[in-house]
Amino acid sequence: MNAIMQPWPWYVSGPLISLVLFLLLWVGKNFGMSSNLRTLCTICGADKTSDFFKFDWKAQRWNLVVVLGAIIGGFIASNFLSDSAVVHINPETVKDLKELGFSSAGNAYLPTELYSLDALTDIKSVLILAIGGLLVGFGTRYAGGCTSGHAISGLSNLQLPSLIAVIGFFIGGLIMIHLLFPLIF
Amino acid sequence: MRTLLYLLIGIFFGITMFKSEAASWFRIYEMFQFQSFHMYGIMGSALAIGIVVVQLIKRYKLKSIYGERIQFIPKNKSVSRYLIGGIIFGLGWALAGACPGPMFTLVGAGFAPILIVIVFSVLGTFLYGVLKDKLPH
**For residue A55, how many C-alpha atoms fall within 13 Å in the half-sphere facing its CB?**
13
| C-alpha–C-alpha distance, residues B31 and B25, integer Å | 10
Q: Report which residue type is found at A169.
A: F
Q: Residue B35, exposed/middle/buried by CB under 10 A (0-12, 13-18, 19+)?
A: middle
| C-alpha–C-alpha distance, residues A19 and A28, integer Å | 14
Contact between B81 and B136 under an 8 Å Cβ cutoff? The reply is: yes
- Residue A107, chain B, CB below 8 Å: the answer is no
- Residue A53, chain B, CB below 8 Å: the answer is yes
Please report residues of A whose CB lies closer than 8 A to that of B136.
none
Out of B70, B89, B118, the one facing A169 most closely (by C-beta) is: B89
Q: How many angstroms separate the CA of residue B10 from the nearest CA in chain A?
A: 4
Of chain B, the end-to-end C-alpha distance in Å amounts to: 40
Global ipTM:
0.96
Q: pTM for this structure? A: 0.97
| C-alpha–C-alpha distance, residues B104 and B101, integer Å | 6
**pLDDT tens per residue across all 185 residues of chain A:** 688 999 999 999 999 999 999 999 999 999 999 999 999 999 999 999 999 999 999 999 999 999 999 999 999 999 999 998 899 999 999 999 999 999 999 999 999 999 999 999 999 999 999 999 999 999 999 999 999 999 999 999 999 999 999 999 999 999 999 999 999 99
